[in-house]
């Protein structure tokens, strides 16, 4: 059993967990099973870190609630199977993580390859006005964005939110119910890339 599994077992047993400094506070209508108490004790330090908000302001508990809410909305609206529902809910989590963990870089040098701007290969800002931008050549954007998504997947997995096992999602199966205030990072990048191609006559 892991800390994430211990946390899920506690929830399943009707135990609500809260933090009091570095201590766990357990709230339950009745005494939790001994196995649950043992697991919470064994993984206490890790569970405390999971319940503490991260740099983006959300704890692992918050991310689990967000995933469950998205899955519920998607299932209700779309009538999809469980794997498809979970795949779309996970994709929503990835988008939300990207929004809550923006990257920034100074202008004048590509964050992807480290090279400067050239007349035939300008640097473009990718991001939002609110969160700031990174500067990239259009050819460097796909690899940078793929690496960003990989970091999101790893961060979510560390909090117990895992990508469904099975075939990868096709582009048309990407989330149809994006989270509220969804990031414009991807849309902005695509628009800028299309604009550059148009300017070059592509």
Mean pLDDT in order along the chain per 10 residues (202 residues): 82 84 85 89 86 85 89 79 86 93 92 91 86 90 94 90 66 43 41 41 45
CB neighbour list of residue 100: distance below 8 Å, 6 or more residues apart: 56, 57, 58
Are 136 and 148 within one domain? Answer: yes
Are 73 and 29 within one domain? Answer: no
Report the C-alpha gap between 164 and 154 in whole angstroms: 13
Structure tokens at 139: 């050819």
Are 40 and 128 within one domain? Answer: no
Which residue range(s) make up the domain with 67? 53-199
Name the domain count of the chain: 2
Are 95 and 175 within one domain? Answer: yes
Structure tokens at 76: 């209700």
* pLDDT value for 166: 59
Are 65 and 29 within one domain? Answer: no
């Amino acid at each position: 059993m892991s800390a994430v599994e211990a946390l899920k077992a506690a929830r399943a047993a009707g135990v609500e967990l809260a933090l009091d400094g570095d201590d766990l506070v357990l709230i339950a209508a009745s005494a939790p099973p001994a196995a649950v108490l043992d697991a919470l004790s064994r993984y206490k330090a890790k569970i405390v870190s999971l319940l503490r908000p991260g740099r983006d302001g959300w704890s692992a508990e918050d991310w689990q609630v967000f995933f469950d809410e998205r899955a519920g909305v998607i299932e209700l609206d779309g009538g999809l199977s469980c794997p498809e529902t979970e795949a779309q809910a996970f994709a929503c989590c990835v988008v939300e993580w990207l929004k809550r963990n923006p990257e920034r870089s100074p202008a004048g040098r590509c964050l992807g390859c480290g090279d400067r701007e050239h007349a035939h290969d300008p640097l473009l800002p990718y991001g939002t006005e609110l969160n700031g931008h990174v500067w990239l050549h259009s050819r460097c954007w796909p690899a940078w964005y793929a690496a960003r998504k990989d970091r999101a997947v790893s961060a979510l997995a560390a909090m117990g939110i895992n990508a469904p096992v099975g075939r990868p999602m096709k582009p048309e199966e990407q989330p149809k119910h994006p989270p509220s205030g969804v990031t414009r990072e991807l849309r902005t990048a695509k628009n800028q890339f299309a604009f550059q191609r148009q300017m070059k006559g592509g």
